[in-house]
Amino acid sequence: MPNTYDVVAMGAGHNGLVAAAYLAKAGKKVLVLERKPWPGGGVVTREINTPGYWHDEHSSVHIMIQGNPMIRRDELGLQSRFGLKYQYNIPYAMIFPDQTTLVAHQDLDKTCEQIARISARDAETYRRFAKRAMAMLPMFASGLYVPPTSLGAMVSMLDSSEDGREVLDAMQRSSLEIANQSFESEKVKVWLVRLVTENLQMPDELGTGFGLYLMPGLMHGYGVSQPLGGSGKLSESLVRCIEHYGGEVRCNSEVTRILTSGGRATGVRLSSGEEFTAKDGVIGAIHPHRLRAFLDGVPEPVLVRAERASLAAFSIMVSHYDLKEPARFRAGEEVSHAIMLEFMASERLSDMLDDFDALRRGRITERVLGAGGDESINDPSRVPPGRGMFHGITFAPFNLEAGGSARWDEIREEMGDRSLKHYQKFVSNLTSDNIIQRTVVTPLDHARNMPNSMVGGDVHGVAPYFYQTAGHRPTPDLSQYTVPGVERFYLVGPFLHPGGGVYGAGRATAIRMFEHLGLDFDKVAGGDTGQGNSRTITLGGDATAGAASGVSAGTTAGASARAGGTAGAAAAGGASGRAHTVTLYGPANEDLMTIQTIGREGDDLIVKGQVYGTMPLTAKLRPEQARRMLRMLGFSLLPFLFTFLFRRSKATQGKS
């Protein structure tokens, strides 16, 4: 039948494309349907104004995806076969009103030299902060791209050790509080806290402390990047991958209903009336607030909880400028290469907090919370030869105190001019004689352009609060990428774990589908999912060893710069302690878990150690679980076990 597929996906955003690509690689007949004339969702590069000027419509910076095995191990061949190329440059910089700067390089020493110009004490604090973050990064990253553990299990595991409790404590605090407790310079505090707000978080929101902790780890550990040619090159490479493996991506195809039968998703219906049947499953990029409009059979309490999912307290307004020549920054050439560049209206922390407080209340302030840059400076292919572009971002409320969200259509250009006036304080030639054309995209435009994803102008789907993280994002009902009451229907989108932004998070949806379809994800991906690692660590105990790995990057776990801590010391212990420990290795021969002691507690075997050399773990192996392990071994492995202790693995020679 021509309209019958194994898997049908609603929405060609990058998360949906990622999930579809893994399934297509597994040999499934896949169809992706997109409402717009082009694929990519929020990861799109288009000629918005003048032909030849390629602007990122929504996302621009690719930072969180750098830890994804899809990229790090090139599981889909996006880089080796399908044309995706990343470029790395200065991760983050800030220009203050007096044109002084504070620049974060991927090189930690260079960054600390920058901070030391302002405060030597803060430079050393930041160094400890970043080193601890980088040491813990593999552990947290291992859980960002797989289905999350339950929030309760994560908290229980963290609460079982001193270091874990330190992490749990930071999870409940705001980035502002941690910055105030750890750093002395106002400029350094502003620089750090403003970075966290890029995740659409208020500086004083409880539960945002890990953003302050994780971002330095990512910047110095993985780096910050953009695809050559624009953000949309990621989506284009995914489309090529899907088509290479026999899948299809159709645009101008708006899905209006998910078809169900007998409590199971069976296909989709388009606005044209055309229907497509899915034998194995349906993928839907449907915001929790919009589930009711597309899907029958979902229990009412599930829908009510979904519709209560909280949105971010503010949104963004974006200005796209085509320029006759590249932007020239008053602060000098170095900052022009920063991938994330902030333009501060004040260097006073209290002023910045006042401006965020106004956002929370739907007010437009005199000062602008702005950022931006000329992406053609690092990537001239984005514009005609010798030309430039400017991508301006201004934080703004969705629901205006005066007039609500509908007022954005009335004040669009006025607000664009307000932001332009602010940008001109930092860019000398962002003037009428250099500007060819401008387009202003308001928070209301985001909601209109992506009605099933950016509800309420929230470009990250739902707010990154602690109660909407890990196994509670966006709700406990929906956190495992499935919907109660409708089998074989799977969710993708920024409103799910691990959070908004460019993560390639459709990988986790694919893992869940592979599990239900009886497919071997590791074999198809050419590497380990990370999920298998957590199962190996969990030796039948109540606490989930991989629990900390279920943390969302947006809100969640981490420790403050009060750091130092025993976990950091253990991470630095290196080989000196190996003679008295046992190390379990991951698929890439990385240290996965170090077992330090094995003891007895009643009838249970107690295993103590550390995950990734940083996070303490205590696991119980109960008698019934031990018996299950023996049954899992089977008779076929017995000859191997007799000789196991006398073997030497080539992969781990020198690590014993």
For Cα atoms 353, 357, 358, give the angle at the middle one, nearest 5 degrees.
120
Helix 108-116 vs helix 120-141: angle between axes, to the nearest 10 degrees?
Answer: 150
Q: What is the pLDDT of residue 634?
A: 76
- Give the tens place of pLDDT for each residue, 27-79: 999 999 999 999 999 999 999 999 999 999 999 999 999 999 999 999 999 99
What region does 610 belong to: left with phi over 0, alpha with psi -120 to 50, or beta?
A: beta
Question: Is residue 13 included in any domain, yes or no?
Answer: yes
- Give the tens place of pLDDT for each residue, 446-459: 999 999 999 999 99
- Calpha distance 40→236 (Å, rounded): 8
Asked, as a colleague might, if the bond just before 474 is cis with ω within 30 of 0, I would say: yes
Instruction: Find the DSSP H helices in 245-313.
Output: 291-294, 300-307
Question: Is residue 54 included in any domain, yes or no?
Answer: yes
The CA distances from residue 327 to 87, 101, 331, 425, in Å, are 20, 17, 12, 12
Residue type, position 424, single letter: Q
- Give the tens place of pLDDT for each residue, 578-618: 457 888 876 555 566 788 888 888 888 988 877 655 455 67
Q: What is the pLDDT of residue 538?
A: 29
- Calpha distance 377→50 (Å, rounded): 18
Contact by Cβ (8 Å): 388, 431: no
Written as six digits, the tokens of 432 are: 């009428």
550 pLDDT higher than 60: no
Query: Regarding predicted confidence, which is higher, 596 or 264?
Result: 264
CA dihedral over 262, 266, 269, 275, signed as positive or negative: negative
- Calpha distance 117→187 (Å, rounded): 11
6 pLDDT higher than 50: yes
Question: Is residue 441 included in any domain, yes or no?
Answer: no
Helix 186-196 vs helix 175-182: angle between axes, to the nearest 10 degrees?
Answer: 150
Q: What is the pLDDT of residue 319?
A: 98
567 pLDDT higher than 60: no
Please give the model's pTM, rounded to 2 decimal places.
0.84
Question: What CATH number does residue 53 fall under?
Answer: 3.50.50.60
Torsion of CA 565, 567, 571, 574, to 10 degrees: 90
The CA distances from residue 187 to 14, 119, 192, in Å, are 36, 9, 9
- Give the tens place of pLDDT for each residue, 328-339: 999 999 999 999
Q: What is the pLDDT of residue 560?
A: 31
Residue 132 phi/psi, 5° resolution? -65, -40
292 pLDDT higher than 80: yes
What's the rounded mean pLDDT across residues 261-266? 97
Q: In what side-by-side order are the strands of the sheet with 615-621?
A: 582-585, 591-601, 604-611, 615-621
Contact by Cβ (8 Å): 446, 459: yes
Cα 388 to chain centroid distance, Å, stands at 29
371 pLDDT higher than 90: yes
- Assign 31 to helix, strand or coil: strand
Lowest mean pLDDT among 88-97, 129-138, 170-179, 626-635: 626-635
Question: Is residue 617 included in any domain, yes or no?
Answer: no
Written as six digits, the tokens of 445 are: 């435009």
- Transcribe 167-228 into DSSP letters: HHHHHTS-HHHHHHHH---HHHHHHHHHHHGGGS--TT-TT-HHHHHHHHHHHHHT--EEET
Residue 591 phi/psi, 5° resolution? -65, 120
Written as six digits, the tokens of 648 are: 């030497």
What's the rounded mean pLDDT across residues 528-548? 34
**Nearest CA to 22 among 535, 490, 477, 451?**
490
> Chain-wide mean pLDDT for the chain?
88
Q: What is the pLDDT of residue 96?
A: 98
What's the rounded mean pLDDT across residues 435-453? 97
Cα 645 to chain centroid distance, Å, stands at 42
- Calpha distance 288→492 (Å, rounded): 11
Q: What is the pLDDT of residue 615?
A: 56
Q: What is the pLDDT of residue 19?
A: 98
Question: Is residue 293 included in any domain, yes or no?
Answer: yes
What's the rounded mean pLDDT across residues 627-654? 72
Lowest mean pLDDT among 98-102, 291-295, 478-482, 596-600: 596-600
636 pLDDT higher than 90: no
DSSP H/E element including 487: strand 486-491
Contact by Cβ (8 Å): 174, 533: no
Written as six digits, the tokens of 202 are: 């208020």
For Cα atoms 77, 74, 146, give the angle at the middle one, nearest 5 degrees.
120
Query: Regarding predicted confidence, which is higher, 427 or 526?
Result: 427
- Give the tens place of pLDDT for each residue, 397-412: 999 999 999 999 999 9
212 pLDDT higher than 90: no
- Calpha distance 332→533 (Å, rounded): 47
192 pLDDT higher than 50: yes
Residue type, position 340, single letter: M
Question: Is residue 592 included in any domain, yes or no?
Answer: no
Q: What is the pLDDT of residue 546?
A: 38
How does strand 55-56 pair with strand 275-284?
unpaired
575 pLDDT higher than 70: no
Lowest mean pLDDT among 86-95, 132-141, 249-258: 132-141
Q: What is the pLDDT of residue 307?
A: 98
Token pair 């060609």 is found at 12
- pLDDT-above-90 percentage for the chain: 70
Token pair 């992406």 is found at 375
Lowest mean pLDDT among 247-261, 281-295, 636-650: 636-650
- Calpha distance 85→225 (Å, rounded): 10
Residue 262 sits in which domain range? 4-84+227-297+472-525
Question: Is residue 503 included in any domain, yes or no?
Answer: yes
Residue 509 CB neighbours (<10 A) = 29
Query: How many residues are recorded in the chain?
Result: 656
Residues 6+ apart with CB under 8 A from 300: none
Work out the pLDDT band at 497, boundaries 50, 70, 90.
very high
Q: What is the pLDDT of residue 533?
A: 32
Q: What is the pLDDT of residue 611?
A: 67
Rg (CA), the chain: 25
Q: What is the pLDDT of residue 628?
A: 84
Number of domain units in the chain: 1
Question: Is residue 553 included in any domain, yes or no?
Answer: no
Token pair 């930041």 is found at 126
Bridge-partner residues for 260, per DSSP?
265
